[in-house]
Amino acid sequence: MYSDFYQEEDLKASLDQYTRSMKHNRVAYFEVHEFEFIVDHYLQIGDVALAEKAVNNALKIHPNNPDILRRLAQIYNSQRRFREAVQILNKAFESFGAGKDVDYYLILGEAYLGLGKANRSQDLFAKAVEMADDDFFEISTSIAAIYQQEGYHQETIRFLKTIVDEDPSLLFEIAFAYLSLFDFEHAIENFDSYIRFYPYSADAWMYLSRAYSSMEKYDLAEDAMLYAVAIQPTNEIYLKEMAILYETQELYIEALNIYQEMLQSDISVDEDLFISIGNISFQLNQFENAQKNYQLANKIAPGSPKVLYSMGLLELELENYLKAKSFLLRALDKDPENVEYQSVLAQIYYFLDESEKAEQLALKILDVNPFFIDAWSVLVDVYFYSKQYRKALAASLWSNRLIGEDWENLTKIAAIYWLIDKPEKASDFLKKAYDSNAASLSFFLEYMSEVNQNTENFIKELNITAK
């Protein structure tokens, strides 16, 4: 590598000279190793645009230089232009005789992984590891980072475990990968191990809390968050995390107290804080206070889609559907691809009897994310009340697979089976719903009354009564 053969002071002087030349819109002459240092500097500080500009300037002076082309492929990877990265590397190697060194295999492996060709990238990473000598630790951490960035958490763990004995700080990355895999027990185990080495890491305590919370071990989650807050008592990230933990447990007053303390402290106030306070007021049915806080949020960030969305939800709850529709349309104008906003708008269309728009929007959401349960719920209601019962049944059965044995959905399925003349199926699902929640009987009767169906005899035959 260039740093092994050239003085760092000389390379820094080249960077300074390059920076001055750019201010005058001219490209001075630099050797290849100097351009490599310049490009790497910009990549290290995260300025990919300047790095790409430096590469293009280098190629004007050193056309088709394989080392410069390799840097360009690295930049393409950072921009997720993986196919172009592969083409550039093949060009550098096949046409211009670039050596297949460790960097070549790492960059090409990352490109193929980005293209979804995991087996090909695995072979390339294996060759990089084979070539490693004193750099084994550095190469393994680089490969693990690539896997982590692309969401291959099992491979991240596999590589990090080979070197964690050399650096216990990697326990955090292993734990985080397990957390991303929803393997909460192993995440807890590794965060605990990390904390034994680094007991004052507030981040580790916070993520440990998240793992416990995901397992509904709320007492342990709260203890972990208390440690994080004790380490950094004025850090808004940890205070918000503690408030969210309380919200998860529906301890809204405790969460509200934390947010109020943040307002009265020296912590900088942003729209998210007022949105959070508004959301809790919403949950407590304090709608005027919710509206007040959303308006305060809007003063800080006028026209913020998050604020408009929150205002829309409030109006939806208050059954002010036209106002809710206006807020959601404005939010989507700012953030048009947000499926959560789209889903709420689909619900509003349904309540406004704009069933065709509700159906089209729900189908659009599911085309992008077929597991978005709220969109399925909209379709169930649209099809049910438009008497498209078989479509409603398909949507409700799919919802049931996604969310499990939810009593409200089971009740809808029972109602639909009754309407398509399958009373035995209706009986099975209604009994399941009743076993989960006796309120299912009244829900069932409500569904039937809305489509003018008398089911009193059917209820009697089930031999169950509302509690």
pLDDT on residue 183: 97
Residue 347 and residue 374 in contact, taking contact as beta carbons nearer than 8 Å? yes
The helix/strand/coil state of 167 is coil
Residue 49 and residue 22 in contact, taking contact as beta carbons nearer than 8 Å? no
Rounded-to-integer distance, Cα 429 and Cα 422, Å: 11
Rounded-to-integer distance, Cα 45 and Cα 68, Å: 19
Question: Which of 142, 144, 168 minimizes the C-alpha distance to 157?
Answer: 144
Rounded-to-integer distance, Cα 458 and Cα 461, Å: 5
Q: Which residue has the tokens 């889609």?
A: 305
pLDDT on residue 21: 81
Rounded-to-integer distance, Cα 399 and Cα 383, Å: 14
CA 334-340-342 angle, 5° bins: 65
pLDDT on residue 296: 95
Against a cut of 0.95, is the pTM above it? no
Consecutive 10-residue runs of the chain (467 residues): their mean pLDDT? 59 82 80 87 88 88 85 90 90 63 87 91 88 83 91 93 94 96 97 97 98 97 97 93 95 94 82 94 95 95 95 96 97 95 96 95 93 92 91 91 84 89 89 88 80 65 54
| Number of C-beta neighbours around residue 422 at 10 A | 15
Rounded-to-integer distance, Cα 64 and Cα 214, Å: 52
Rounded-to-integer distance, Cα 33 and Cα 14, Å: 10
pLDDT on residue 12: 81
Length of the chain measured in residues: 467
Query: Which 8-state DSSP code applies to residue 232?
Result: S
Rounded-to-integer distance, Cα 179 and Cα 98, Å: 40
Rounded-to-integer distance, Cα 428 and Cα 171, Å: 49
pLDDT on residue 467: 45
pLDDT on residue 406: 85
Q: Which residue has the tokens 């929007």?
A: 361
